[in-house]
């Protein structure tokens, strides 16, 4: 009975993770263009000061998703890795590390963005220059833990799912491509290539990533009911 409840929680949590990505994507698409980090600090901070709700909503959505990942990932690992348990446990730990980093980054941003943006708008030239010289994300500035590590989790767990046939082949392939999309994000941040960042964000955060978590959550739920 306890295992069944845990599986039900894992199924629900996986769906929540997927929905959190979708909510974050919608908020990002609705946000003003200047209110995105790619706009540069001179445009970004005034836009955040004027409309802080967008970035705050984005942070809250991702924090909620990261917290529910702590229930989703172990449940997915148990479902997928019935023979290759060492690999799935390794993948789960990687994924939890990545979601922990995401929760810390977004919680830090939630408590910082409004204050810094107001200081930028009210400050003199030297204050603005000092703020502009500082990275928007003080933690994990290149997204190695936030994006690369969860990408590895998806690659490993879906490769195991293909080998063991514990997920539908189509879903496992979707998960692998989503994992590759996550790997594009830190590559884009390190090289300053906007095309890589955009492609990775669309693949992993808007299309395939949310679809995979929701689809796997429904598969887990069906497995419990059956």
Q: What is the pLDDT of residues 164-173, one digit of tens each?
A: 999 999 999 9
Which are the contacts of 113, defined by CB distance < 8 A and separation ≥ 6? 48, 52, 55, 56, 59
User: pTM (2 decimals)?
Assistant: 0.86
Find where tokens 């500035």 sit: 141
Pick from 184, 212, 27: which is nearest to 106 by CA? 27
Residue 226 confidence class, pLDDT cut points 50, 70, 90: very low
Residues, the chain: 226
Q: In the predicted model, is pLDDT for residue 93 greater than 80?
A: yes
Q: In the predicted model, is pLDDT for residue 195 greater than 50?
A: yes
Write down the mean pLDDT value for the chain. 85
Mind listing the pLDDT tens digit for each residue in 95-140? Answer: 999 999 999 988 888 878 778 888 888 878 887 787 777 766 667 8
Cβ atoms < 10 Å from Cβ of 18: 23
Find where tokens 């887990």 sit: 220
Q: What would the two tokens of residue 12 be?
A: 């629900």
- The 3-state DSSP class for residue 31 equals coil
Alpha-carbon gap, residue 65 to 63, rounded angstroms: 5
Share of the chain above pLDDT 70, in %: 90
Alpha-carbon gap, residue 210 to 50, rounded angstroms: 30
Q: Which residue has the higher pLDDT, 123 or 155?
A: 155
Q: In the predicted model, is pLDDT for residue 161 greater than 90?
A: yes
Query: According to the model, what pLDDT value does residue 2 have?
Result: 38
Alpha-carbon gap, residue 95 to 145, rounded angstroms: 9
DSSP H helices in the chain:
2-30, 41-50, 53-80, 85-122, 125-133, 149-164, 169-191, 194-200, 208-225
Alpha-carbon gap, residue 6 to 65, rounded angstroms: 18
| Burial letters 43-79, b for 16+ CB under 10 A, else e | ebbbbbbeebebbbbbbbbbbbbbbbbebbbbbbbbb
Taking CA atoms, 124 is separated from 130, 131, 187, in Å, by 10, 11, 35
Query: According to the model, what pLDDT value does residue 157 have?
Result: 96
DSSP annotation of 138: S
């Amino acid at each position: 009975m306890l295992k069944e409840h845990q599986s039900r929680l894992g199924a629900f949590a996986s769906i929540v993770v997927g929905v959190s990505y979708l909510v974050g994507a919608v908020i990002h698409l609705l946000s003003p263009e200047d209110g995105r980090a790619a706009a540069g600090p001179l445009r970004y901070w005034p836009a955040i000061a004027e409309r802080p709700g967008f970035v705050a909503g984005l942070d809250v959505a991702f924090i909620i998703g990261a917290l529910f990942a702590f229930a989703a990932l172990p449940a997915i690992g148990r479902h997928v890795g019935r023979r290759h348990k060492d690999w799935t446990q390794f993948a789960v730990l990687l994924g939890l590390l990545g979601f922990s980093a995401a929760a810390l980054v977004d919680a830090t941003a939630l408590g910082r963005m409004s204050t810094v943006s107001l200081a930028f708008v009210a400050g003199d030239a030297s204050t603005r220059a000092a703020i502009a010289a500082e990275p928007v994300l003080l933690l994990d500035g290149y997204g190695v833990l936030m994006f690369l590590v969860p990408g590895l989790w998806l690659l490993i767990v879906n490769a195991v799912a293909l080998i063991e046939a514990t997920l539908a082949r189509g879903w496992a392939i979707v998960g692998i491509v989503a994992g590759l999309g996550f790997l594009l994000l830190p590559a884009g941040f390190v090289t300053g290539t906007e095309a890589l960042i955009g492609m990775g964000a669309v693949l992993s955060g808007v299309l395939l990533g949310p679809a995979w978590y929701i689809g796997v959550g429904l598969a887990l739920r069906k497995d419990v009911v059956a």
